[in-house]
Structure 1
Amino acid sequence: MKMFNMFFDIEKEEQWLNEQLQEGYRCTNISGLGIYTFRKTDKRYVMRLDYQDYLPKKKFKEYKAIYEDFGWSHIEGHRMGGRQYWQKEEDGQNEIFSDRQSKGNYYKRLMGYSFWLAVLCLFFSYSIYKASGLYLTEGLWSMEGALFWKALIFETPFVLLRSLPAFMVVLFGSSFYRANRKYSMLKEK
């Protein structure tokens, strides 16, 4: 079974994947385009996601070996950085972070990822909007009647596409805020 889904929140993605596991569908592949492949299973599995920055080839092999020693299977993820998908049969040891420090380090990595993506999208948004604004149809605001409405309706889908980077700033900013809040809560305990 294949399903399409897009997530900007790593914890919501993990929750959704575990819901699929509870329904008896084991994840076998995840494409970069948001296509998840599942296979029906009778066994009980659990899935955990991690975020890693760039790791050299040797460090990435060590990273994978540590988790595989504890029974985790690496489903998807690259040494160049990004989300790492881990899955194993449920056995009572279902967390990939063994202590508060490793969980805190995870939130720090996630904050850095969210921050730099938000900055990149903010820069991109600024470069798009500074010269021309959102609506590019010349004389749009001086048009009248049906011509104005036709031009406005025609242009609006393009405006929504051009405003996508600004929307992404909000999404990555909120991801940064949530990770920062969870990191702060871990430090207070």
Structure 2
Amino acid sequence: MKKLKIFFDIEREEKWLNEQLAKGFRCTKISSLGVYTFEETDKKHVMRLDYRDRMRKEKDLEYTNMYEDFGWSSIAASKMVGIRYWQKEADGHDELFSDRESLAKYYQRLMVYSGWLGITLFAIMVNYIFIQKPSFYHDGLWHMEGSLFWKAFLFETPFALLKALPVLMVILFMDGYYRAYKKYKVLKTA
């Protein structure tokens, strides 16, 4: 079974993947375009996600071996994004982070991930709004009449809406940053 789903929040993605496991579908592959491949299973599994910056080959091998030693298996996914997908049979030791400090570092990495994506998309948004002046592409659109106007308007509407996509994505990534920051702050102050 394959499902197409796009997430801007790692924790929501992890929750959704665990819901699929509860329904009896184990994830076997994740494409960079958001296509999740599942297979049926009768065993109870748990899935955890981690975000890591790009690592040198030796460091990546050490990271992978550490989790594999604890029974986790890595799901095939794009390493370009930096999100790692770990899955194993549920055995009561189902958390990736064993202490507050490692969990705090995880939320700190999520803040950096969300923050940089949010800043990048904010720059794109500023470019669209202040430099390119968001509008419909065809200059003569508003001078057209009748069915010609409506055809041109309907054709160009999806392209104009695409210009608003960075605004929505900035909001989503900044929300992710804020939620990771709150969790990080609680772990660091307690």
Deviations 1:5-26 (A, max 9, x none): 1111111110111111111111
Deviations 1:123-177 (A, max 9, x none): 1122233133233332556777877666544432211111111211111111111
2:114 matched to which residue of 1? 114
2:61 matched to which residue of 1? 61
SS of 2:19's partner is helix
2:189 matched to which residue of 1? 188
Q: What's the TM-score, normalizing by structure 2?
A: 0.90
1:158 matched to which residue of 2? 159
Deviations 1:101-134 (A, max 9, x none): 1011011111101111111111112223313323
42-51 vs 130-139, which moves further: 130-139
What residue identity is the alignment partner of 1:18?
N
Q: What's the TM-score, normalizing by structure 1?
A: 0.90
After superposition, residues 34-73 of structure 1 pair within 5 angstroms as: 34-73=34-73
| 1:27 to 2:21 alignment | no
After superposition, residues 81-160 of structure 1 pair within 5 angstroms as: 82-129=82-129, 130-138=131-139, 152-160=153-161
Deviation at 1:54, TM superposition (A): 1.1
Whole-Å separation in 1 of the counterparts to 2:133 and 2:81: 35
What residue identity is the alignment partner of 1:101?
E
Whole-Å separation in 2 of the counterparts to 1:34 and 1:80: 13
Is the Cα contact below 8 Å between 1:121 and 1:166 reproduced in 2?
yes
1:14 matched to which residue of 2? 14
SS of 2:75's partner is strand
Structure 1 unmatched runs, 5+: none
Aligned pairs, number: 189
RMSD value over aligned CA atoms?
2.0
Greater relative contact order: 1 or 2 (C-alpha under 8 angstroms, separation 6 or more)? 2
Is the Cα contact below 8 Å between 1:55 and 1:79 reproduced in 2?
no
Deviation at 1:79, TM superposition (A): 5.6
